[in-house]
Amino acid sequence: MHAMLRALALVSFLASASAAYADAPAPTQELASDPEPPRPSLGLSADGAAIIVGDYAARLDLLVLPALSIGGVIGASHRRATDDVLLELVASLWCLGQGLEGPFVSAAAGVAWGGPWNQTPSWTVRLGGDAGWQFLWQSLSITLGAGAHAAVRDDGAVVPEARLRVALGLVF
């Protein structure tokens, strides 16, 4: 009987110890040599607020370094009351170095061209930039930014113009 009580006590002890061990948090498996989690490196967005200043645009950003992306903008510009095709090249510095997330400063150079579909074909060279913040929620991006550019028109006039960006997009 005494041996039976010892066996029962041992089984009870082992059962309670395994239950306590199961409730304990698992130890971390991370090592200092583990690679960093992937950074978002490709972004596609459509700018909804630029309509206020006369542009309709879609943008593509490609991360080339942890804090630097290059990209392009394609769209339409109605700043001169004409239907101009808008093409821009953009370089962005991502201040946190975490990929396409956080505060940024961008420089842009491009052209707005009103071709033969307009009554008076025209072109405008645009040089400038903007600054802002891109928020990520899993694969969804929300970008807020503002800036300015100098518009050099085909008649030689140099006109300062505002840039506004409230974009919704996807990042991969």
pLDDT digits (tens, 9 = 90+) for 124-169: 999 999 999 999 999 999 999 999 999 999 999 999 999 999 999 9
Residue where the block lists tokens 């101009």 = 84
Q: pLDDT class for 15, splitting at 50, 70, 90?
A: low
Task: Kindly report the pTM of this predicted structure.
Answer: 0.76
Other beta carbons less than 10 A from residue 52's beta carbon:
10
Specify the CATH number for the domain of residue 126.
2.40.160.20
The answer to whether position 26 is within a domain reads no
Q: Which domain holds residue 91?
A: 42-171
Could you give the C-alpha distances from 99 to 29, 104, 143, in angstroms and in order? 25, 10, 14
The answer to whether position 8 is within a domain reads no
Q: pLDDT class for 26, splitting at 50, 70, 90?
A: confident
The answer to whether position 20 is within a domain reads no
Mean pLDDT across the stretch 12-32?
66
Helix (H) or strand (E) holding 62: strand 55-65
